Amino acid sequence: MKRKHRNYNNRKYRWKKSKANSSDVQPDFTVLEDDDNEEDHNDDEDNTDANDLDDINDDDDDDDDEDDDDYDDDDKWILKLQKMLPDVVHAFRKNNLIIYLLMLFTLISTAKFDFKNICFLLFCDILRYWSTDSTSKMRYPFKETQQFWWLGKILFHGRFQRFMSGYKHAGQSNLTGYLNPATARINFALPSHIHINEHPIDLKIPDIKGPGIFHEMIQLISSQKKNSYVLTFDGKKLAPGLTDEAGDIDLLGYGPEPLHQQHEQYTKSKEIISKITGYLQGSSKSDNYIKNALLDVSHRVSKSIRDLRQLIAKQQYALDKFTTKAASEPGKNYCYVIDSIKTAIYRAKSTIKDALATNDALFGFIALLQNSSGYCTDKMVNLSKTKSFVTLKEPRQVHSSLRLPETEHVPHHLLKQKSDEWFNLRKTVKVTGSTAYNALGIDGLKSQKETFQYINNQKEKPAPTEQQQMAMKHGTENEIHALATLHSKVMPAFFPNLTYYEEGIHMITANNKNIIGVSPDGSIRRSENLSGVIEDIVYAVECKCPYSSYKFNTPVYYKIPTRYICQTMLEMRSMGCQECIFLCWTEESTTVFKLRLNQRLIALIINESVDVFYSENDKPPSKLSSRAKEIKELCKDISNSSTFIGEFPSVLGTLHTNELIIDQDNLPYQTFQTTTPTLKKDYCEKEMISTLVSASTVLKEAYQLNRKKASEVIPIMLSTVDRISNPETGHAQPIGYFLRGYSLSTDVMRNIAEDFMQACFVNGIHVPVQTFDGQWINLVVRDQQGNPQTKLQLQVDVWKEVKRMPKKILSEK
C-alpha cells in the first residue's frame, strides 16, 4: 500500500530534494520576503509544489511496503499538524525565524537531528512547562535534563539556578501551587532545589564528604600515563563558621578530636537515649537493663560537663587577654570578640547547671533501681541522722570500750585523726601519705632535699604562706561536705548497702619497723557491726577540696593529680583493699574517680623510702635515683588510667555528735539513729523519660558549644613536574584536604604529608618532590626527632645554645 500524500495549502517555502532519506542532498531554502509578495509567487509555488510532489511520489514507488503501517499511525498526527501548520509558519515568518523551522524539518527528515541533544531536551521541558495550567503539575521526564541541572548545581551552586531560571513569578500574587506558567518569565524550566537534590544520579561520581584523602582521585591519577608528580600544599583562609555537618577543625586524626568523632559520640548518645526511652514505654521492663543504660547516659553527661568546664577555662583566658588589649589599645575595638566570649561562657555555665540537675535525677533513679533509699536531692545533709555513717570514738573512749590494759595503746587504725595520740604516732614515721610526693623525689630533687632536711631536723621548716594556710583551712572546713556528698549521692547510686567508716592512722612496716603512716579520709565496708574488722574494707576513701587562686583552672579535677597517687596507693596497701574512691569537692559539684592498687608502685615506694630515709646515710640525696624516676612515670600512667565515675551535685553536710544514740561499750565506733527515715518510692516512667529528654538537650548543647571553628583549609594537590597549564587542562589535581585552626604544629603537618605520600606510593605514583611555603620550613631542615638536617640549621642551633651560656662557662671553654 502506497502512502497517500495530502496537498498542504498556503506553503511559504520551496523545498527541492531528490531523495527523502538522502543525507547527501543539501536542501535549497528560499524564504519568501513577506506576505505582501505572496501573490507574485503563487503560480511558481503551485508549479514547484506539483513537481516536487511528483518527484516524491516517484521516489516512494521504489520504497518497500514494510513502513506502511507506521505511515498509517502517523496520519492522525499529520492531520493535527495540518490544522496548525499555517499558523505555525505564519508565526515563524513574523518573527523572521522561518528558516530555522525549515532547518529543523530538514535535519529531522534527513536523520541528522540528535533527539538526545541536551539543548533540545531542555527546550522540550519548556514546551511541557508552558503546556500545563499550573506549575504544580509540571513534571520532568528526561533523565538527561535532571542530570544537567544537578551538575550545574554542584559546579556553580545557587547562582546558576537563579540565573538559568529567570524571574519566574516574581512580583505576582498567587496561591501556593496555583501559579500559571503562561505568566512566568523564565529562561529555562528549572526544577526546584528539593527535586534536584533528591534526583538519583547514575553518574559514577565518587561521593567525597568531608576532609580526608581522596582515594578515588589518586586511583584515577595512577591510571593515567606514568609520570612523576609533585605533592604540594598551602593554606587558604576561611570565613570561620559552623553548619550541622561541617566547619570544624579536622586534622585527620592527628590533632584535637575531629568533628566526625565528636558527632559519632553525640549520635551514639542520642541512639542510647532513644532506645531506653522506647524501652521504658514498653510493657516488659528489666531494672538491671534500665540501670546500666542510665549509668551510661550519666557518664556521657558527666563527660560533657568536663568538656564545658575546660571550654570555660580557655574562654576565660581569652577574655582576660582581649580585655587587657582593649584597655591598652584604645584605638582598637574588641567589643565584638569580648561579647562573643562572654556569651559562650554564659551558655556553657547555663548548660553545666542543667547537666548537673539532669545527673542528679539520673543518679536518683539509679539508686531507686538498686533498692537504695539513701539518695538525697537536698542541698543540706545531716550526717547524724543516718546509720550508715560510722565515726570513731575519742581515743580514751576507745581504750575504755575495748577494755585495754593501761599499758596497752589503742590500735593505731582506731585513733581519731587530729587527736593528740594521732599526732604523736604520726611523728614516729619519717614518711606519710601527704609527704610521699616530695619525699620520694617525684616533685624534683630540690623538693626531695628540702623534705629530707626537714624530716631529719637538719633545716627548720618555714612557716606556711598565707596562701598555703588558706588552702589548708579550706580543705579542713569542707571535708565534712565532701563526706556528706559521698554518703548521700555517690554511695546510694554506686555502692548501695555499704557503710562509710571513719579511719585513724594505718602503718606500713618494713623489717618489723613502721616506716610509712597514712591517714585515709575513711573507708567503705560491707558490714555494719561496728567491730572495726579491717578485712571488711572494700574501698579506701580520699577526699580533696581544691583551693586555687588561678582562675584558668577547672574548679574540680577531671584526672587525679599525680601528687596524690602515692598517697592513695599507700592507703590501699595499709588497709588491705584493692580499690580507692577519690573525690574532688567544690560547692557546686563533686567529681568521683576509682583507681586500683598497683603492686609494682607500692614496692618501689617502700624500697625508696627505706633507702633514702632509713639508711645510715644522714646526707640528703645528691641526685634522683632511677627508682624515683620510675615511680614518677607510674604515677602518671595510673593518673591517666583511673576510672572517672561521674560528676555529682555537691551537698553541704553537718554532723551533730550529741545526737548519737548507738554507742556500744565494747565497740570503738559510734553511729547515729535515723530520726527521719527515707522511704523508697517507685520510679515513674514519665519522670524518667523527661529526664532523658533533658539529657539529650544537654548533650546537644554541649556538643555545639565544644565545636571548634576552622580558620584555614589546607588542600593537598598532585601537580605535574613541568606544571604546564591551559584553560582546558589543569596542571594539578586535588587528592584531599584538611581543616586547621589558628595554629598547627610541624609534627602534625609532617604526619599528614606522610599519609598522603604513602597513599600515592601504594597506588604506584612517583612523588619525588614536595612543595610548600615557608611556614613549613622545619619539614626540610629537621627530622621527626627535631634534629637538624642541614649544616645551616645546625649552625643556628649551636649559636642559640651558646648565646644562653653564662659568661663564666664561655670563658672556661
Residue 205 located in a structural domain: no
Give the pLDDT confidence score for residue 178 in this predicted structure.
Answer: 75
Whose CA is closest to 231, among 786, 555, 717? Answer: 717
Give the pLDDT confidence score for residue 153 in this predicted structure.
Answer: 85
Given a cut of 50, is residue 589 above it in pLDDT?
Answer: yes
Give the pLDDT confidence score for residue 693 in this predicted structure.
Answer: 95
Give the pLDDT confidence score for residue 61 in this predicted structure.
Answer: 46
190 and 223 co-located in one domain: no
Please state, in angstroms and as integers, the Cα–Cα distance from residue 402 to each residue in 27, 411, 508, 668, 752, following that order: 127, 10, 23, 7, 70
Residues 6 or more apart whose CB falls under 8 angstroms from that of 186 comprise: 126, 129, 165, 166, 167, 168
416 and 322 co-located in one domain: no
DSSP state of 484: H
pLDDT digit string, tens, across residues 285-300: 788 899 999 999 999 9
Residues 6 or more apart whose CB falls under 8 angstroms from that of 257 comprise: none
Contact 526, 536 (CB under 8 A): yes
Residue 643 located in a structural domain: yes
Helices H, strands E: what count in the chain? Answer: 24, 24
466 and 557 co-located in one domain: yes
285 and 304 co-located in one domain: yes
* Grid cell in block for residue 231: 605533592
Give the pLDDT confidence score for residue 611 in this predicted structure.
Answer: 93
Grid cell 529567570 in the structure block, residue: 166
431 and 476 co-located in one domain: yes
Mean pLDDT of 360-387: 88
Give the pLDDT confidence score for residue 423 in this predicted structure.
Answer: 93
Give the pLDDT confidence score for residue 190 in this predicted structure.
Answer: 86
DSSP state of 767: E
Q: What percent of the chain has pLDDT over 70?
A: 84
- Higher pLDDT: 66 or 234? It is 234
Q: How far apart are CA 286 and CA 249, in angstroms?
A: 42
| Residue 262 pLDDT level (bands cut at 50, 70, 90) | confident
161 and 272 co-located in one domain: no
421 and 479 co-located in one domain: yes
700 and 717 co-located in one domain: no
Given a cut of 70, is residue 23 above it in pLDDT?
Answer: no
Residue 794 sits at φ, ψ, to 5 deg, of -60, -40
Mean pLDDT of 256-285: 83
Q: Residue 347's domain spans which residues?
A: 259-371+685-705
Give the pLDDT confidence score for residue 77 in this predicted structure.
Answer: 86
- Where in 143-250 does DSSP place strands (E)? 166-168, 185-186, 212-213, 228-233, 236-237
Residue 498, SS3 per DSSP: coil
Please give the model's pTM, rounded to 2 decimal places.
0.71
| Residue 584 pLDDT level (bands cut at 50, 70, 90) | very high
Given a cut of 90, is residue 755 above it in pLDDT?
Answer: yes
Mean pLDDT of 757-769: 94
| Residue 204 pLDDT level (bands cut at 50, 70, 90) | low
408 and 431 co-located in one domain: yes
Q: How far apart are CA 133 and CA 177, in angstroms?
A: 11
Neighbours of 758 (CB within 10 A): 11
DSSP state of 67: G
Give the pLDDT confidence score for residue 596 in this predicted structure.
Answer: 96
54 and 127 co-located in one domain: no
| Residues 606, 608, 609: CA angle, nearest 5 degrees | 65
Grid cell 514505654 in the structure block, residue: 281
Given a cut of 70, is residue 32 above it in pLDDT?
Answer: no
Whose CA is closest to 683, among 365, 370, 376? Answer: 365
* Grid cell in block for residue 678: 527515707
Considering the chain, what is the average pLDDT of its residues?
A: 84
Residue 3 located in a structural domain: no
* Grid cell in block for residue 355: 547537666
Contact 441, 707 (CB under 8 A): no
Q: How far apart are CA 674 and CA 671, in angstroms?
A: 10
Give the pLDDT confidence score for residue 661 in this predicted structure.
Answer: 54
Residue 144 sits at φ, ψ, to 5 deg, of -60, -45
Whose CA is closest to 749, among 738, 762, 760, 733? Answer: 738
Whose CA is closest to 365, among 682, 698, 694? Answer: 682
Given a cut of 50, is residue 58 above it in pLDDT?
Answer: no
* Parallel, antiparallel or unpaired: strands 30-31 and 13-14: antiparallel
Is the Cα torsion angle 489, 493, 497, 501 positive or negative in sign? Answer: negative
Residue 204 located in a structural domain: no
Choosing from 109, 142, 177, the residue where a domain stops is 109
Q: How far apart are CA 382 and CA 393, in angstroms?
A: 19
Residue 2 located in a structural domain: no
Q: How far apart are CA 568 and CA 582, in angstroms?
A: 8
Mean pLDDT of 182-194: 85
Q: Which residues pair with 241 in a beta bridge?
A: none
Residue 4 located in a structural domain: no
243 and 266 co-located in one domain: no
H-run or E-run covering 537 = strand 537-544
Mean pLDDT of 118-143: 90
DSSP state of 290: H
pLDDT digit string, tens, across residues 493-528: 999 989 999 999 999 999 889 999 999 999 999 866
Q: How far apart are CA 585 and CA 381, in angstroms?
A: 15
Q: Provide the number of structural domains found in the chain.
A: 5
| Residue 199 pLDDT level (bands cut at 50, 70, 90) | low
Q: How far apart are CA 141 and CA 138, in angstroms?
A: 10
136-169 burial code (b ≥16 CB/10 A, e <16): eebebebeebbbbbbebbeeeeeebbeebbeebe
pLDDT digit string, tens, across residues 232-257: 999 999 988 888 778 888 898 887 66
Contact 746, 264 (CB under 8 A): no
Q: Which of 301-315, 401-415, 533-547 has the highest mean pLDDT?
A: 301-315
Residue 787 located in a structural domain: no
pLDDT digit string, tens, across residues 445-490: 999 999 999 998 888 888 888 888 999 999 999 999 999 999 999 9
| Residue 720 pLDDT level (bands cut at 50, 70, 90) | confident
514 and 615 co-located in one domain: yes
